[in-house]
Chain A
Amino acid sequence: MSIYRQFWLAIIGLTVLAFAGSFVVSLFTARNYIEQQLYMKNVDNAASLALVLSQLPDKDPVMVELMISSQFDTGHYQEIVLTDPKHQVLVERHYAGDASGAPAWFVRMFPINAAPGTALVQDGWKQYGSIRLVSHSRFAYQALWHGVERLAAWFLLAGGLAGLLGTAVLRFVFKPLHGVVQQAEAIQERRFITVGEPRTPELRSVVVAMNAMVSRLKAIFAEEAARLDELRRQINHDALTDLANREFFMTQLREQLTAAEAAAEGNLALVRISHLDKINADMGHQLTDRLIQHMADVLKRFAEGCDNGVPARLNGADFVLLATGEHDPRRFGETLRQALEEDLVPAWPQLEEMFHIGVVAFRRGDEMRDLLSGVDKALAMAESKGMNALHVLSEEQSMTGSRSAESWRHELSEAIHDGRIRLERYPVLAASNQPLHQESAARMQLDPHGPWLTAGDFMPMALRLKLSSAVDMDVVQIALDHLDQAVQEIAVNLSAETIADWRFNEDLAALLSHNPDKAKRLWIEVPEYGAFRNFDAFRSFCHHLARHGCKLGIEHFGHHFGEIARLAELGLDYLKIDSNYVRDIDSHTGNQEFLRGLCRIAHNVGMLVIAEGVSSAAELATLIELGFDGATGQEITRRVQD
């Protein structure tokens, strides 16, 4: 029984006890008082009648009877009896009517017993007889009964008022407790939230203690996360410029070229600072470093304006920029050149020639070696062209570039309308080798007879045309339908734009509440950059879905590791770690330490950690040793198929 209900019952009980007690006491007091008063009246009236009869000089029986009758008829008497000294009745009068002014059961339960009054009558010196007199108790019963009625009415009224007042007071008193309970439940679900301090001193000390604990835990997480993030940076980033280093960039490039979910095409630019050795010799080490940092800043800013822009420093003078979203490599290259001309060159008037840019367009599936040699060739061509020159190697038009936005809109809408979307499913195994769930990837058939395109092919356009919500809704629906027959749970990924769409959120919540059982077997994941780009939208998305029982997670996690503390209050269920950190983990001791710390922190806030893109048994073994809870990727698919 809740404490609220217990208090409420206690208030009711005390009220009833108090009223019932006063009720009984006043009833018995009143009855006792009435009995005493009636007895006095009996005795006194008997005495006065006896006195009058004693004074009657001639005891004429008619006269005696008349006097008794007149006393009886004008007064309020139950009976008056005159007996002689031998106890023979001389005169008697009895009241014959209804003697009671109250319900029969009441008279039975609370009888009024007033003793009769008796007095002696003299005839001169001789004894004449004795008077026995009983007063009528009708009015006494009436008075007692009315008193009971009034008391009962007051009892009901005051009891009702006390109940209402008690309820209001309890509401008021327990309101802060509600907040405390919510916080405790949130902490149990490993959501670390703080609540406002209530005014009740006992509760306040509890809340203060719990808030302090939550803050301390958050601080510990943040500290640990910052330390590990620093480690991650040292391992994967160039110390001078904070750009990705060569090794990390190569992992990302390989992912871009091989992953089904990656964009279908993009551009790679290689930027070289000209004559860096000479500059170093002429201007000195410090200024050279300043130049390199300046170049890095310009590239970083430029990358932020691109889709999935990744800048990196390959070695001393060489920088690369990987970006998707621009179909025309010439335009991409020219924009980059202009940015350098405007932002970099004016600051260094002492340098004549500053940079050269080689650009090459690529498509998913291209060989990495070919791509790298291509961009080298483009840079060589640019260097041969002259000062601050650009050369674009590939002139051919890309597949997507050949379609107009209008035809894309038409074909995407048709495909969504006709339901030409299906889910590819990939196994995700737990560390125990048991299936955890199936990961799904959307495929769409633009042309009814054409090939099934991967998300990387159609999703960029769907995003641009604001059709991603429709695609994602279809995906969730297909996944739920799949759960009808499937034993395993299934995970779907939603795009960043989709989760910020409030109509999608409403529709999804409605869909899940109509399928409560299936919702519990649905895992929903959002890419890291989508979650952190609009964190407020992601937070409200999480709160919106929390009560439907589906599991929520973040995929491609790792780049925003420093902000993992912000995830603690969301109550997320899992993280999928980006394959960039997983690749060759068995030989990469630096990332091993980072991932071990990540697993520890994630487990502290109740999240599972799953590795993406595991491609070898050695990687898998290392990951399990590091504390990963599950994995997906080619190695896993292979194992399941075997």
Chain B
Amino acid sequence: MGRNRIHHATLRVFSLSALFACAFGALALLATAFDFDAFVQLAARRYGARTEQVAGQWRNLLTASRTLPEVERVRKVNDFFNRQITYKEDSEVWGQSDYWATPLETMGRGAGDCEDFAIAKYFSLLLAGLPADRLRLTYVKAKIGGRYSNISIAHMVLGYYPETNDEPLILDNLLADIRPASQRPDLTPVFSFNTEGLWVGNAPGGTSAGSSTSRLSRWRDLLSRMKAEGFE
């Protein structure tokens, strides 16, 4: 029944981003009911006292900063992860070339690559009460080795847009502080996405565990792991 036509269309394009968006949307909507204490206990059970301590700090940070201005919250979350998490390649941490870890996994290992930083910050800011339409996960081309270097790497950062038409503030694990995009000539944006308008609660192929589309995605994997961590 027309299966092939659709299927080819599916394979033709960049499917992961859509699924990524779906997964994020689901979590964002459900974040208000997040149980921080259970999360901390889980961190203790799974990774021991050190991670419990990190998770407890993370909980305190998010619950305490709810009333702060948005920019302050962004700064605190950025500082938290840049300080607590060490940058390491996926192949080193997880033994595979590209693994997207959940925030708890990232805290548990104490290490992650650029996606893991961006994902952890994204979830944390959603939990801190920021609207999803001010946050964008962005694939960027990053020039490294100074202004005149020709070496570039594929990189991911989180963009925060204080105003819709404004330039974003960039949350990057390569730099400790947050800077406006105009002060980051080393980064060239390629593509960005967030959950806004993408996720439709009753849409087929959404986040329902049994749907055929979710099986295609590594985010199905991420999502199920996050469910086990309380992001339900």
Contact = CB atoms under 8 A, between A and B. Distances in A.
Interface string A125-145: 111001010000001101110
Interface in A19-63: 30, 32-41, 43-48, 50-51, 54-55
23 contacts: A34-B6, A37-B6, A40-B6, A40-B9, A40-B18, A40-B213, A41-B6, A41-B10, A44-B9, A44-B14, A44-B15, A47-B17, A54-B192, A86-B164, A115-B205, A120-B192, A120-B196, A125-B168, A139-B5, A140-B1, A144-B1, A146-B1, A147-B1
A125 B5 contact: no
A51 B15 CA distance: 12
Given A48-B12, A143-B2, A36 B193 contact: no
A114 interface: yes
A39 B203 contact: yes
Contact of A126 (B6, B165, B191): B165
Given A36-B212, A55-B190, A118 B198 contact: yes
Interface string B8-34: 011011110111011000000000000
Interface of B: 1-3, 5-7, 9-10, 12-15, 17-19, 21-22, 136, 138, 159, 161, 164-165, 167-168, 181-182, 189-194, 196-198, 200, 203-205, 211-213
B10 A85 contact: no
Contacts of A125: 159, 167-168, 181-182, 189
Contacts of B2: 34, 37, 139-140, 142-143
B205 A44 contact: no
A55 B211 CA distance: 32
B141 to A, nearest CB: 11
Given A39-B205, A43-B15, A122 B10 contact: no
Interface residues of A, number: 44
Contacts of B203: 39, 114-115
Given A36-B204, A39-B204, A48-B14, A120 B3 contact: no
A351 to B, nearest CB: 114
A124 B198 CA distance: 21
A46 B203 CA distance: 16
Contact of A127 (B19, B164, B191): B164
A119 interface: yes
A46 to B, nearest CB: 8
Contacts of B138: 122
Chain B interface secondary structure, helix, strand, loop or mixed? mixed
Contacts, number: 122
Nearest to A45: B13
Contacts of A36: 204-205, 211-213
Given A119-B193, A125-B181, A43 B168 contact: no
Nearest to A117: B18
A147 B2 CA distance: 11
Contacts of B17: 47, 119
Given A39-B205, A44-B12, A30 B6 contact: no
Contact of A51 (B14, B159, B198, B200): B14
Contacts of A113: 204
Contact of B13 (A30, A44, A142): A44
Given A35-B204, A47-B17, A115-B205, 9 more contacts: A30-B1, A34-B6, A44-B9, A44-B13, A115-B204, A117-B198, A119-B193, A120-B194, A139-B2
Contact of B193 (A32, A120, A146): A120
A52 to B, nearest CB: 10
B87 to A, nearest CB: 23
B179 to A, nearest CB: 12
A47 B14 contact: yes
Most chain B CB within 10 A, of A32, A36, A48, is at A36
Nearest to B7: A37
Contacts of A43: 15, 18-19, 21-22, 198, 205
A143 B204 contact: no
Contacts of A46: 18
B143 to A, nearest CB: 15
A448 to B, nearest CB: 98
Given A127-B161, A127-B165, A34 B198 contact: no
Contact of B1 (A51, A119, A143): A143
A284 to B, nearest CB: 113
Contacts of A114: 203-204
A376 B159 CA distance: 152
